[in-house]
Amino acid sequence: MSIERIEKRQGATLVAPALLWTLIFFVLPFLAMALMSLSHLEGRSVVSGPDLRNYAKIFTEASLLKGIAVSLEITVLVTVISVALAWPLAWIIATRVPVRWRRLALLLAVLPFWTSYVVRSYSWALVLGEKGVVMNALVGLGMLSEPVQIMATRSATVTGFVHFFVMLLTLTIYSNLVQLSPNYARAAEDLGASRWQVIRLVILPLTLPGVVTGAFLTFVLCIGDYITPQILGGNNELTLPQLIMLQLGRRGDYPMASALSLVLMLIVTLAYLACARWLKMERV
Partner 1 sequence: MTFKRTCAAAALLLGLVPAAQAEELNALIWCDHADPKLLEPFEKAHDVRVNVKEYEGTAAGLTILQQSQPGDWDVMVIDAVDVARAVEQGYLAPLPDGAVSTADYFPQVVLADHNSVDGKTYAVTEKFGYNTLAYNKAKVDPKDMESLASLWSGKYDGRIAIYDYYLPVLGLVGLAEGIDTANLDAAALEKLRDPLMKLKAASKQVSDVVASQTALATGEVDVLIGGGEWLTAVLHSENPDLDWTIPKEGGLLWAQSIGMVEGTQKPELAIEFIKYITSPEGQARLATSSCYWGMPANMAAGDALSEDEKSVLRWSDQTDYLARAQLYPVPDAQTDAAMQDMWTDMLQN
In this structure, what DSSP letter does residue 247 have? I
DSSP state of 42: E
Is the bond preceding 50 in cis, omega lying within 30 degrees of 0?
yes
- Type of residue numbered 240: L
Q: Toward partner 1, which CB reaches closer, 42 or 190?
A: 42
Tell me the closest approach of the beta carbon of residue 243 to partner 1, in angstroms.
8
Q: How far is the CB of 37 from partner 1 (least distance, A)?
A: 16
Applying CB under 8 A, the residues found at the interface with partner 1 are 41, 43-44, 62-63, 66-67, 122, 125-126, 129-132, 149, 151-152, 230-231, 234-238, 243, 246, 248-252, 254
When the beta carbons of 55 and 254 are compared against partner 1, the nearer one is 254
Q: Minimal distance in Å, beta carbon 38 to partner 1?
A: 19
Three-state secondary structure readout of 153-167: CHHHHHHHHHHHHHH
Taking the least distance from each CB to partner 1, the nearer of 20 and 31 is: 31
Rank residues 71 and 170 by Cβ distance to partner 1 and give the closer one. Answer: 71
- Nearest Cα to 79, choosing from 226, 217, 219, 173? 219
The nearer residue to partner 1, 66 or 102, going by C-beta atoms, is: 66
Q: Nearest distance from residue 225's CB to partner 1, in Å?
A: 16
Q: Specify whether the CB–CB gap between 109 and 93 falls below 8 A.
A: yes
- Minimum CB–partner distance for residue 250 and partner 1 (Å): 5
List, in sequence order, every residue forming a beta bridge with 210; answer none if it has no partner.
Answer: none
